[in-house]
Amino acid sequence: MTSQLVHGFKTLAERTAGSVRDDLGLGPTDRLDSRKLAEYLQVPVVSVKDLKDDGASDVSISRLLSDDAAFSALTVCAGEQRLIVYNPEVASTRQSNSLAHELAHVILEHPPAPVAFESGCRVWNARQEEEADWLAAALLVPREGALKWLASGGTVPTGARHFGVSQALFAWRMNQTGVMYQLKAKRRR
């Protein structure tokens, strides 16, 4: 897929992630708890299972929890207010990443799109989604933190565990931020 990101966004994302982490009192190698970030941003988070009181049927809940639906998280808005609904049955690393992704939309002030499940497809704003993916990853695995982790002998599996993300996400960050390249260059010197 071609990247939809505008020039300069990646730098902005790293900087934004850094300042949000500062606000939470986190150093570069500290793990970010997405729940705490939600609390900090005052965004309530509920499990899809907890929506029974609000009229969600068992059938619909089960359907969203099924593997086939591939559902991780969604955000609903009313004015400026937002609520995140997540799937509690996916891996904790996935939950954390999905929550960070949804919160990244809040941080980036992405305007909400209307609900439209037309023809079985959702409205897909590719740029906003890519921006949220990028910022979420930067929040969870800051470039500086990843660099420090690897420079001090850490590996991708241990780093992923430490930061509470999947190995795939950690490795992706290594590649995208040029951390691997920087380390190799350093070792050659």
Partner 1 sequence: MVDVAALYAALDAKRGGEGLSWRDVAGKLDISPSTFSRMAQGRRPDIDAFATLLRWLGQPAEDFTRSRPRLGKGGSPVAAMVSLHFKAARNVREEDVAAFEEIVQAAARRLERLKSR
Which helix (H) or strand (E) is 45 found in, with range?
strand 45-47
> Phi and psi for 142 in degrees, rounded to 5?
-65, 145
Query: Applying CB under 8 A, does 41 fall inside the site for partner 1?
Result: no
Q: How many CB atoms lie within 10 A of CB 67?
A: 8
Q: Cβ of residue 17: shortest distance to partner 1, in angstroms?
A: 18
Q: Cβ of residue 26: shortest distance to partner 1, in angstroms?
A: 23
Query: Applying CB under 8 A, does 5 fall inside the site for partner 1?
Result: no
Out of 83, 156, 171, 180, point to the residue binding partner 1 (CB under 8 A): 83
Query: Applying CB under 8 A, does 168 fall inside the site for partner 1?
Result: no
Query: Applying CB under 8 A, does 148 fall inside the site for partner 1?
Result: no
Out of 4, 19, 81, 155, point to the residue binding partner 1 (CB under 8 A): 81
Query: Applying CB under 8 A, does 44 fall inside the site for partner 1?
Result: yes
64: CB partners within 8 A, 6+ apart: 48, 71, 87
Supply 21's token pair.
């982490």
C-alpha closest to that of 45 among 91, 93, 106? 106
Query: Applying CB under 8 A, does 88 fall inside the site for partner 1?
Result: no
Where b means 16+ CB within 10 Å and e means fewer, 46-63 reads eebbebeeeeeeeeebee
Out of 20, 32, 132, 146, point to the residue binding partner 1 (CB under 8 A): 132
Write the DSSP string, 7-26: TTHHHHHHHHHHHHHHHTT-
Q: Which residues bind partner 1 (CB under 8 A)?
A: 44, 46, 48, 51, 53-57, 59-61, 63-64, 68-79, 81-83, 85, 90, 94, 98, 101-102, 105, 110-122, 124, 128-129, 132
